[in-house]
Structure 1
Amino acid sequence: MKLYLDPGHGGSDAGAQGKGINEKTLNLDIALRIRTILTQDYKGVRVRMSRSDDRTKSLRERTNEANGWGADFYLSIHCNAFNGAARGYEDFIYSSLSDRSDTAAHQRAIHKEVMKTNELPDRGLKKANFHVLRETAMPALLTENGFIDNPADARKMANPAWRQAVARGHVNGLAKAFKLKLAASNQALCKVIAGGFHSKENASTRVELLKSHGISAFITKTSIAGKPWYRVQAGAYSNRKNARTHLDTVRAAGINDAYITGRGQGV
């Protein structure tokens, strides 16, 4: 499965703004988390991003790149803004598509899984004539992950743990929509991950912080888009309930971006 992952806006285009937050930054953070989970936890998935840093890129460049690459699915990550009072999550497919189309089926799968994780009001499954939905040769979805100018939504957006949960919701939806298979190394165990870093030094600092709280941890190295990535693993469990208990312990130590990978046993 080839996913073209598009963090909306970037560079000179900040997107929506509110409560001291720029949409372009949030979009990129969530998208990078989606890429990390997909490439590390699933097999047979290739991810290309419209941008992996803060750069300006036109809508036409994005869709042309996705079409030329022959992507199987186009996922565009956004956040909303309106009047400071509106809040919640919504997603869009192209306006002319039937509710019986494959794209609509993908939308339903992803919408359902994101709503399980984002703790936001459900604004529904919608359709629109957006460029990235109209000019893509493959099924495409645009998600709007809360309202950046709403105080309640913005508080969630500022929390790395919330952004990780939203990324996980997107991945769970993609896994359902495209019947993705977990990598063999992630099928049996639930791993508690206490952060991922481009810098090994930052990963080492995280390990020392965990050790100061009596939590054992070590660094695992992988490569994403040709660049090194250092993950801090703080435990592995065959039972998911035990993994969740340890995750709570890690988060109580101030590690808000900790999360669980793998299925394990139980719920």
Structure 2
Amino acid sequence: MKLCLDPGHGGYDSGAIGFGLQEKDITLDICLQLKTLLEYHGIVTILTRDGDYAPGHLEGNLNGELWTRVKLAEQNAVDLFCSVHVNAGGGTGEQVLVSELDGNAQKAANQVLPYLVQAGGWASRGVTVQNVLVLRETSMPAILTENGFIDNSADAAKLKDPNVRKALAVAHARGICDYFGIQYLEGGRDMLEVAVLLYTKEDYWAGTDVSVKNGNCALFIRPDDHSVPKDAMSAKKLIVVGWPTTNHPNDVLL
């Protein structure tokens, strides 16, 4: 199975903002974690961006970079397109958008949404039809998830929490695995035989190569305070990309 994963916005386009948060940062964080989870389950995952830039590096060209997202999905002949966003406008909760009902996109949306709702005790806003370019112009089933409201104080507090963003990544992965008929592996014990720890998101490509060479093991990114995530420390072996080393008893610095 092959999926195109689309972190909303990027570069010149921050997306929605609120309470010190930018949508583009949240969507990228969720998607980088989600890519690792999906690939661990055997789903080939194409990212439309892996850093803070507009897809195609078309800074300031909204229509062009939206079409770039579609073209990446088409060129790679993916089986599902999933765009990840954060909502705004004073509401609350989780929502999944599709371009039309009664198809595989609605099936995927219905399988992903309950996990998103459970991931942080969110309200459910349901599956909704909207005329969005990346949903309308893709030939494969396509969904767009709206993860909380960045301008709602309660939702923003959740989105600011790295554990909630990780839970949202897991929730997407569980729903996508269900859609593809793949059993989601609870706990990921095998994945934590070896883990890769990145100093920043800029180390992502180097870290991905290391992860692949180690059996698509878990990939972690240090938060803004550069602390080490607890799950990374639980791995039997921790490969550190960037700087500095950790207090892990068996870490290797690349």
Give the Cα separation in 2 of the matches to 1:74 and 1:154.
26
Matched, 1:52 2:59: no
Matched, 1:18 2:44: no
1:52/1:111 Cα in 2 relative to 1: closer, same or farther (>3 Å)? same
Give unpaired runs (5+ residues) of structure 2.
56-64, 201-209, 221-231, 237-254
More strand by share: 1
Give the Cα separation in 1 of the matches to 2:16 and 2:140.
27
1:181/1:29 Cα in 2 relative to 1: closer, same or farther (>3 Å)? same
- The 8 Å contact of residues 194 and 233 in structure 1, kept in 2 or not, is answered as no
Q: What residue number does 1:180 align with? A: 182
Q: Secondary structure at the match of 1:222?
A: helix
- The 8 Å contact of residues 194 and 234 in structure 1, kept in 2 or not, is answered as no
Q: What residue number does 1:139 align with? A: 141
Q: What residue number does 2:211 align with? A: 222
Give the Cα separation in 2 of the matches to 1:229 and 1:171.
14
CA displacement 1:161-202 (0-9 Å, x = unmatched): 00000110000000111112468xx899477799852249xx
Q: 1:89 aligns with which of 94, 119, 141?
A: 94
CA displacement 1:91-143 (0-9 Å, x = unmatched): 1010xx333x1221111111122222132111111111100100101000000
Q: 1:70 aligns with which of 60, 67, 77?
A: 77
Give the Cα separation in 2 of the matches to 1:6 and 1:54.
13
Percent of residue pairs bearing the same amino acid type: 32
Give the Cα separation in 2 of the matches to 1:155 and 1:50.
27
1:124/1:188 Cα in 2 relative to 1: closer, same or farther (>3 Å)? closer
Matched, 1:198 2:201: no
Matched, 1:36 2:25: no
1:9/1:233 Cα in 2 relative to 1: closer, same or farther (>3 Å)? same
Give unpaired runs (5+ residues) of structure 1.
201-220, 237-267
Give the Cα separation in 1 of the matches to 2:22 and 2:14.
6
Q: What residue number does 1:98 align with? A: 101
Give the Cα separation in 2 of the matches to 1:160 and 1:136.
31
Higher gyration radius (CA): 1
1:229/1:129 Cα in 2 relative to 1: closer, same or farther (>3 Å)? same
**Aligned residue pairs, count:** 205
Q: What residue number does 2:115 align with? A: 113
Give the Cα separation in 1 of the matches to 2:32 and 2:183.
20
- The 8 Å contact of residues 135 and 144 in structure 2, kept in 1 or not, is answered as yes
Give the Cα separation in 2 of the matches to 1:192 and 1:74.
28
- The 8 Å contact of residues 16 and 22 in structure 2, kept in 1 or not, is answered as yes
1:193/1:156 Cα in 2 relative to 1: closer, same or farther (>3 Å)? farther
TM-score (norm. length: structure 1): 0.70
Q: What residue number does 2:61 align with? A: none
1:55/1:191 Cα in 2 relative to 1: closer, same or farther (>3 Å)? closer
Q: Secondary structure at the match of 2:5?
A: strand
Give the Cα separation in 1 of the matches to 2:111 and 2:18.
30
TM-score (norm. length: structure 2): 0.73
1:110/1:164 Cα in 2 relative to 1: closer, same or farther (>3 Å)? same
1:132/1:189 Cα in 2 relative to 1: closer, same or farther (>3 Å)? same
